[in-house]
Amino acid sequence: MTGPADHSPRLRALRDRVTAPPTVDLPKAGDDLTWRPVTAADIDLILDLKRAAGTIDHPRYLETRDELEEEFASETFDLEHDAVIAVDSAGRAVAYGSAAAPDSPETSVDVELDGTVAPDRRREGIGSALLAWQEARGLQHLAASDAALPGRLASSAHEHAIPAIRLLENHGYERARWWLELELDLDTPVAEPPTIPGVRLVPYGPQWQERARSARNDAFRDHWGSQPITAADWASADRLAASRPDLSLLAIAPDAHDGERVDGFVFVDVERDEWPLRGGPFGYISTVGTRRDARGRGLARTLLAHVLRAMRADGLRHAVLEVDADSPTGALGLYQSFGFTVTDRSMSFVKHF
């Protein structure tokens, strides 16, 4: 059942609206391929596959081993049922796909579909067979939900990954959102950031973990496709080797209930393995945000200015970030005012239920 998402208060629970197969058979494409559920021992195989495909599909981004480890260790990710792998006679991974259930849906129940096929084995029907498996498993996730919310199967692709885009569109997925990758040369002068009365700026650390998560969930509550991040997922991101709390910055303000709260934040990751793909040292600004009731005070501008200066002092040559082209906060204009320019684009694709 597909069609425009229904936001009516009379929306029935997804389990009453979505029909899912009782079992999901493994794909059968590729005479020389063995399809099977994924195990934790497959991480290196999958990483090799993703990196080989990435040279074509997203040549300036690398998935890391610890990202896969954290995903596979998630309490909500069932390796035996949520992911499949196809291995050829030489033991190489040729295809991998997953259908991950959401942790804490609030405004929609989104099942994320992640699929990869080796570049030399494309145009053999493997991708279509893999997507069919993902959809069937995704329907099971939706049909298991008691939430009276819109449901979506969701995937994404960079704009130059034409085969992936065609595959998704041929199977009924709609282009739902554009995402812009922006880059800034850190030699670009950054004006002295203004101070904001009643606010102090501190580096991110474990003592701020829960208050920062609360601020992020509030700040992104009105953003397309964003759902609350659970404490487990937040801690998982903090464990990644690329995380740079020393370059990340929080705006702290008094709070009548908790003493102090996080009103704004900028988080930075640095993945050295990606440096050769961009011609030198760079940092990725993963998240920028301000609590909704603290907007309009210039917190994001002040935080970002401090962070950009800190990144340059750390020896990084460029700053990279991604932004929703239609962000409700006008974030694109903020970044452009610092001198960020568009270097790449990607799209979100969805099928509504």
Q: Is residue 154 part of a domain?
A: yes
Same domain, 77 and 219: no
Quick one: tokens of 142? 């939706």
**Within this chain, do residues 21 and 150 fall inside the same structural domain, yes or no?**
yes
Torsion, CA 60, CA 65, CA 66, CA 68, rounded to 10: 90
Q: Domain boundary at 111, 142, 172, which?
A: 172
Q: 21 and 167 share a domain?
A: yes
pLDDT recorded at residue 1: 40
Q: What is the CATH number of the domain that holds 20?
A: 3.40.630.30
Whether 294 is covered by a domain: the verdict is yes
Please give the pLDDT value at position 143. 98
Residue found under tokens 């992936």: 164
Q: What angle do CA 124, 129, 135 make, to 5 degrees?
A: 150
In a domain, 244, yes or no: yes
- Of 138, 172, 206, which marks where a domain is finished? 172
pLDDT in tens, 7-61: 445 789 999 999 999 999 999 999 999 999 999 999 999 999 999 999 999 999 9
7 in a domain, yes or no? no
Q: Are 307 and 320 in contact, with CB atoms under 8 Å apart?
A: no
Q: Are 132 and 40 members of one domain? A: yes
pLDDT value, residue 9: 55
| Of 231, 211, 124, 132, nearest in space to 172 by CA | 132
Transcribe 24-47 into DSSP letters.
Answer: -PPP---TT-EEEE--GGGHHHHH
Region 315-321 average pLDDT: 98
195 and 334 together in one domain: yes
Same domain, 145 and 264: no
Asked if residue 23 and residue 164 are part of one domain, the reply reads yes
Q: Is residue 302 part of a domain?
A: yes
Specify the number of domains making up the chain. 2
What distances in angstroms separate CA 16 from CA 19, 144, 276, one per listed residue?
8, 9, 50
- 201 in Cβ contact with 251 (< 8 Å): yes
Please state, rounded to an integer, the average pLDDT across all residues of the chain: 95
Nearest to 262 by CA among 329, 327, 203, 328: 203
pLDDT tens, residue by residue, 189-243: 998 888 899 999 999 999 999 999 999 999 999 999 999 999 999 999 999 999 9
Same domain, 187 and 166: no
Based on the fold, state whether residues 206 and 162 are members of the same structural domain.
no
* Whole-number percent of the chain with pLDDT over 70: 97
Instruction: Say whether both 165 and 186 belong to one domain.
Output: no
| Banded pLDDT at 335 (limits 50, 70, 90) | very high
CB 215 within 8 A of CB 261: yes
Residues 79 and 186 in one domain: no
Tell whether 133 and 267 lie within a shared domain: no
> Is the Cβ–Cβ distance between 110 and 147 less than 8 Å?
no
Cβ atoms within 10 A of the Cβ of 251, count? 25
Domain of residue 27 covers 14-172
Query: Does any domain span residue 94?
Result: yes
Domain end marker among 172, 196, 230: 172
CA separation for the pair 331, 194 (Å, rounded)? 18
Average pLDDT value for residue range 99-106? 91
Residues 112-168 pLDDT 10s:
999 999 999 999 999 999 999 999 999 999 999 999 999 999 999 999 899 999 999
Examine residue 2 and state whether it is found in any structural domain, yes or no.
no
